[in-house]
Structure formats: C-alpha cells, structure tokens
Amino acid sequence: MILQSLVTYYESLERKGKITSPGWCSAKVSFALELSEAGELLRIIPLKESVLRGKKTALVPTIRKVPQMVARSSGVSANFLCDNSSYLLGIDNKGKPERSVECFEAAKEKHLEILKETGGKAARAVVLYFKTWKPEKAMEHTALSEGVEEITAGGNLIFFIGDEFAQDDPAVKAAWETYSQKPGDGVEGTCLVTGKRAEIARIHGTIKGTGCSVQRGRIGIV
C-alpha cells in the first residue's frame, strides 16, 4: 500500500503543478535565443536573475519547465529545445569545433524529426533556424558580438519566438508529448504498483542530490 500511496501523492502534486509531468523536467536556463518567424537569430536574451547569497548578490540561471533532458556523461546526444551552445549554436569554448558541429547536427536531426509535421509559428521558426543556421559563421553574427564567453560556458539555452518560449507553444508541446510517449523496443510487463501494462524501464532518470532514480510512465517494477 505504501507504493500505491506514493503514486497517488505524485499524481496529486502533478495536478497542482508542483512537479513536472512525464516527459518534462525542470532545468536551469541561462539564455534564450530569440528567433524571427523565419528562423533568424535576432538576439540573445539573458535569463539569469539576481539572488542574495549572504551579503552578496549573484546572477543565477532561472528554473524553467522543459522537455525531459537526456542523461549524458560522454558521446553526443541532443536534448529537445533546451541544451548548451554546442547543440543549439554549434560553438563552445572548449576548442573543439568539429565536435560542436557534430553536436549541432545531432540537435538539428532531432528537432526536424519531432517537428516535421507540426504547424504554428514557433515550430516553423525552430525548423527554419536549424535548416539555415551555419555554426561555422556563428561568431560573425551580431547577436554573439558580446558576451559570447558566457553564452558558450556550458549553461542551457532555450528558444523564444514572438511572445513565448518555444516549449510553451501548444503545438510544440503536443509534438513533444507524442514523440516522448512513443513505445520503445523494450519488453512490456504489468506494473505491480499501478496494474497497468507498459514498457519496463531499463534506465531511470536520476533525481539530482538524492542518489535515487525514478521514471514514471515506463514501469520498473513488474
């Protein structure tokens, strides 16, 4: 009964908006790439906010709800709509331009796949951005003429189109949820907690700072 109660409690917090839904997470975000409807980079918007730490004020990234991010320790694996400059701009400060371009190409492939049948100005802008952005010419862009060291320092970037962040656009959200809920190639089983049949999770996402892991929606107990 304890596990069932925990599931019920989780669902209650989810309905109240106190935790993220399956397929979503909370991430620290430092900047937004503002795009025109034609996918052109207009400017870089700082998203850090001032917080008081002791007697000093510090600028820290804001927390945003974004599509579930991948867990990576090495290799190239792109996130959707929220990632560092290597993946969204094709540049970094590590002196490895070839790898940065590889990261950008991985992000381009993922975004074009997820948004290929999605309408709306946000989806079109992101698709056009990835189709037209040239990492090798990034440093020549006026939007990157200042603060590029901080932008390429490893913090997360997101997209801003019109008057909203791309991940908040209804059509984009629907496209991501359809993509993230696709059945995988794993073995299915019946969860002893919920009684529902679902794919057995091979790997669970880590809850930072706890040493624990969880993945709701793909069961880990059968």
**Three-class SS state of 69:** coil
pLDDT band at 94 (very low <50, low <70, confident <90, very high): confident
- CA pair distance 138, 149, nearest whole angstrom: 13
Please state, rounded to an integer, the average pLDDT across all residues of the chain.
84
- Report the range of poorest mean pLDDT among 30-34, 120-124, 136-140, 191-195: 191-195
What are the extents of the domains in the chain?
A: 17-182, 185-222
What pTM was computed for the model? 0.80
Does residue 191 surpass a pLDDT of 80?
Answer: no
Query: What are 105-142's pLDDT values in tens digits?
Result: 999 999 999 999 999 999 999 999 999 999 999 999 99
What's the average model confidence in pLDDT over 195-219?
50
Structure tokens at 62: 């804001």
From CA 87, how far away is CA 76, in angstroms rounded? 9
Q: Which alpha helices (H) appear in the chain, and where do they start and end? A: 2-15, 85-88, 97-114, 121-132, 148-151, 170-180
* Residue 11, CA distances (Å) to 8, 17, 24, 130, 210 in order: 5, 10, 14, 36, 20
Other CB atoms within 10 Å distance of the CB of residue 77: 16
Name the nearest CA neighbour of 179 among 4, 24, 8, 45.
24
